[in-house]
Amino acid sequence: MSLNSNEIFSRLLELYETQKMNELSTLLGYKESWGAATRKRGGIPYEACVNAAEKFNVSMDYLLFGNDEEELSLGKNVNKLKQSITDGVFKAIQKGVITPAEEVSISEITQTILNEMDLNVFMDIMIMKRK
């Protein structure tokens, strides 16, 4: 197996749901020109892959080598779950169902909920749903 910068960037673009390298660069926290320059010189964006693996719950093996196409779909579903929880927490706060302490953010509440969830069970359900 060999690493291919173009393929790695294609997978990152797909995960971040954009087709523009400058937008991907910004989403990853870099200058707009970072992605195009890195890809042009054949650089492997290891740090960006680590961040994407954590954010989208996909493996480095998928990001670097493209193994396991099903993993991409599962990662996107986990990300949608996280967004759904965040939206639900926000609505619950708006309706007065929950009142967080002043120093507690919505993202901290979401992360606490996610930490208590078994994402492997969620992923198993998603796999069973596809069959």
Cα-based angle 65, 83, 19 (whole degrees, multiple of 5):
45
Mean pLDDT, rounded, for 109-115: 83
CA dist 34 and 25 (Å) reads 6
Q: What is the rounded CA–CA span in Å between residue 74 and residue 52?
A: 13
Is residue 92's pLDDT more than 70?
Answer: yes
Q: How far apart are the first and last CA of the chain?
A: 30
Q: Evaluate if residue 124 carries a pLDDT over 90.
A: no
| Whether the predicted pLDDT of 130 surpasses 60 | no
User: Predicted confidence band at 26 (pLDDT cuts at 50, 70, 90)?
Assistant: very high
In tens, the pLDDT along 42-79 reads: 999 999 999 998 888 888 888 888 876 555 566 666 77
Residue 13: predicted pLDDT: 93
d(CA 105, CA 118): 22
pTM of the prediction? Answer: 0.57
**What structural domains does the chain harbor?**
5-65 (1.10.260), 69-130 (no CATH)
